[in-house]
Structure 1
Amino acid sequence: MTTLRMAAVAAPFDRDLEGDFARIEKLIGEAKAEGVRLLALPEAALGGYLANLDGGAEGPPALAADGPEIGRLAALAGDLVVTAGYCELADGRRYNSAVCVTGDGVLGHHRKVHQPLAENASYGAGRGFAAFDTPVGRLGMMICYDKAFPESARALALDGAEVVVCMSAWPGSRTNAAPDLAQDRWKRRFDLFDRARALENQIVWVSANQSGTFGDLRFVAGAKIVDPGGEVVADTGVAEGMAIAEFDVQAALATARRSMGHLADRRPDAYPVSVP
C-alpha cells in the first residue's frame, strides 16, 4: 500500500510578495514536518487577488511563468509537490494562473477558464483543462469559479486525473452577508461544489482558499480534502489553517468505482454537445 499525505491551505496573501514568500516558506516547513508530499496553496498566493470584482481593480504583480518568482517557489518546494496561484504575464496579457512545482521545476500549469462577474476586465481566459503526471500521481488543477462547471472536473477526470487541486480566492456573499461566515450562502456553495465534484468523478479533491480580507472581499477559507465518495475528511472551517489527510489514492479510487463507476457508466451519445 502506497499512501499519499496531502494538505490544503487556507491563508491570507496580499501584494507584498516578500511577505507572501515568507508565509509560503513557513507553510512548506510545516507541511514537511507533517510528512506532507502534496501541498496546495490558494489562488493568487503570489501577490494576492483582486481588491474587488467590479472591474478595473488594480491587480497583483504580473509574473512570467518561467520567471525568477516561479523558480523561487520551486526551490522552496524542494521534494514536495506544491501548487499555487499567481498572476501570469504572457504576450502582453495577464492571466489568473496556477502552477505546480517541485524542486526540479514546473510540472504543470493552468490558466483560469471561467471568469466571474467582472474578472475578465483584469485577466484573459484560459482555454482548457489537462491532467499531468507528478511524483505523487496524476494531477489536475483548476482555479476557483472553474469548479462551478461540472465539465471542468469531468475533463480532468477523463484525462486520468486521480487528484484534482482547486485553488480559490472565494469570498463570502456581497449581498445579505452573514455575520457568521460559516452560515454564509457563498460558503455553502463553495462546500457543495467541492463535495459534488469529488463524488461525481470519484476522485480525490484538494481545495485551497484564501482567508481573511483583502480590499472589498472577505474570503470564506474552508480549505478541505474530499474523498472519492464526496465525504470531507479534513477541513479548516472558516479559519486560517491547513487541512491534512492521507490516502492510498489508487485503493480509494478503486473502492469508489467498484460497483458504480461514474466515468465508465457514462453515455455520451445521450447528451451530445449541441450548443457551442
Structure 2
Amino acid sequence: MRHIDYYLCKMAPTYKVALVQLHPKPLAPAQNYEKAAAFIRDAASKGCHLAVLPEYHLTSWVADRPGFKESCADSLQYLQQYQALAKELRICIVPGTIIESDGNSLQNIAYFISSNGDIAGRYQKKNLWHPERRHLVSSAHEPHMAFDTPLGRVGLLICWDLAFPEAFRELIADGAQIICVPTFWSLRDVSDEGYALNSDGEALFLNSTVVARAFENTCAVVFVNAGGPPEKDEDTSFAGLSQVGVPHLGSLGRLGRAEGMSIVDLDMDVLRIAEENYKVREDMQGEGWHYAYTRIRDGSKL
C-alpha cells in the first residue's frame, strides 16, 4: 500500500515547474545546450524545483540529414553537463531526450536528474512515430517503471507515447504522481489529407489528450514540446503548446507555438482531491479490478 499513502496525506507541497519550450537548431548540440542551460538558470533563479525540456532538443529531428548520427555522439557529455548543472543550481531537470548509440542502433532516451545531480530515472521511448522507426530502436516489451524523486514518484514518457493510455496506466499502477512527457510534435505530423480536414487538428489532439490523461489517471502530466523560433512568433509549423495537465483544473501555464518558458505552480494537493473523488488508484488496487494487467507487476499484486 506504499503508493497510496501519499494520497492520505492532507498536507501536500506545491512545486514550481518550468516548461522550457525550446526551438532547437538542427545538428547544433553545443549551441542548443547553452540556450537550454540559460533557461534552466533563469528557472532556478525564480525558485523552480523542476525544469523540463523538449524531445530532440539538442539536435532537432533531422534523421535523414548527413551528420545526424554523428551529432548524437557526445550524448554522454551533455548528460553529465546537465547533472552538474542540476547539482549546482539545486534543481531537478528532465533534459528532454538525448539520442544515444548502442552499436549501430540509436535510442531515444529521457532522464530524470535529481537536484543533487544523480540520475533518478531513465526511459527509452517505446511507441515510435512512424518515420522514427527507420532510425530508432524501441524499448519494446520493457515495462514502464516509475521512480522516486525529490518531487515524489515520477514517470517518464516521450511524445507519441501520449497516444497510449496503457502507458499511463502502467506508470500510475507503479505509483507515479507526476508524468513528464518531452515531445517534438508538429502541426504537420499528419498527411496532407489529414491536415486538410483540420489545419489545427494536432493542436486539438494535444490540448485534449494532455488534460484527459491527467483526469483519467489522477496525476499531473508535464507536457513540454518544441516550439518555433521566437522571431516568427506564432507563425510556425511547430505545435508548441507546452502545459501541465491537472485533474479538476485542466491545463496550466499553456504556451503558444513560439520558443519560451512558462512556470507553473503545481499543487500536489489537487491530486489528492482528485483521487478522493475519482478513486482511480483505489479501484486499481481492489481485488475485483477488471483489468488485471494494471494490478499485477512481475507476478505479484501491488
Change (3 A) 1:272 1:254: closer
1:264 corresponds to which of 270, 279, 282: 282
Deviation string, structure 1 residues 127-184 (Cα, Å, up to 9, x no partner)? 33111111122111110000100011111111111111001000113426879x9x61
Per-residue Cα deviation, 1:232-271 (whole angstroms, up to 9, x for no partner): 121102232222211331x221111112212222487534
Is 1:23–2:35 an aligned residue pair? yes
Give the superposition deviation at 1:64.
7.0
| Map 1:37-116 → 2, pairs under 5 A | 37-50=49-62, 56=64, 59=68, 61-63=71-73, 67-78=76-87, 79-84=90-95, 85-102=97-114, 103-116=116-129
Say which is worse superposed, 124-133 or 141-150, in terms of deviation: 124-133
Task: Mark the CA change 1:271 to 1:101 in structure 2 (over 3 Å): closer, same or farther.
Answer: closer
- Identity, in percent, stands at 25
Report the CA distance shift for 1:33/1:178 in structure 2 as closer, same or farther (over 3 A).
farther
- Matched to 1:150, the amino acid is P
Q: What stretches of structure 1 of length at least 5 have no aligned partner?
A: none
Return the TM-score normalized by structure 2: 0.79
Q: 1:269 to 1:57 in 2, by over 3 A?
A: farther
- The whole-number CA distance in structure 1 between the counterparts of 2:237 and 2:98 is 19
- Matching residue's letter, 1:112: K
Could you list the runs of 4 or more consecutive aligned residues of structure 1 that deviate by over 6 angstroms after TM superposition?
Answer: none
- 8 Å contact from structure 2 (residues 30, 58) kept in 1: no
Cα distance in 1 for partners of 2:186, 2:255 equals 15
* Residue 219 (structure 1) aligned to one of 238, 247, 252: 238
Mapped pair 1:187 → 2:203: yes
Task: State which structure, 1 or 2, has the greater radius of gyration over its C-alpha atoms.
Answer: 2
Q: What RMSD over aligned residues (CA atoms) do the two structures have, in Å? A: 2.5
Q: Are 1:3 and 2:11 counterparts?
A: no
Looking at structure 1, the residues matched to 43 and 175 of structure 2 have their Cα atoms a distance apart, in angstroms, of 26
Q: Between Structure 1 and Structure 2, how many residues are aligned?
A: 262
* Structure 2 unaligned residues grouped into runs of 5+: 1-10, 230-235, 294-302
The structure carrying a bigger strand percent of its residues is 1
Q: Which residue of 2 aligns with 1:165?
A: 180
Whole-angstrom CA distance in 1 between matches of 2:102 and 2:34? 26
Give the TM-score normalised by the residue count of structure 1.
0.86
Match of 2:167 in 1: 152
Give 1:100 deviation, angstroms. 1.5
CA distance in 1, matches of 2:164, 2:117: 32
